[in-house]
Amino acid sequence: MDERHYTVTGMSCGHCVASITEELSDVAGVTAVEVELAGGAVLVRGTELDDTALRRAIAEAGYGVADRAALPAAS
């Protein structure tokens, strides 16, 4: 199971969370998405996750990614 962590910018409401969750859930290999509105933290779980496709999905939802690289899962 792969994990990718992102900090998403521009979210301000529950609709934002739903939009990001929906877009990321449509990416191949994604099995779970967790979004924290307050801090903009997004955790994506799945198999063979494609960082470019995940970033594109966030952009398609209308938001940005604050960090330039996905962070590895915490041990």
pLDDT in tens, 7-39: 999 999 999 999 999 999 999 999 999 999 999
* Mean pLDDT within 49-61: 96
Residues of the domain holding 43: 2-64
Pairing outcome for strands 41-46 and 30-36: antiparallel
pLDDT band at 67 (very low <50, low <70, confident <90, very high): low
CATH of the domain at 38: 3.30.70.100
Contact 8, 40 (CB under 8 A): yes
Structural domain includes residue 75: no
Query: Total structural domains in the chain?
Result: 1
The answer to whether residue 73 scores a pLDDT higher than 70 is no
- What pLDDT does 31 receive? 98
- What pLDDT does 10 receive? 94
Structural domain includes residue 51: yes
Q: Which residues contact 2 (CB under 8 A, 6 or more apart)?
A: 29, 45, 46, 47, 48, 49
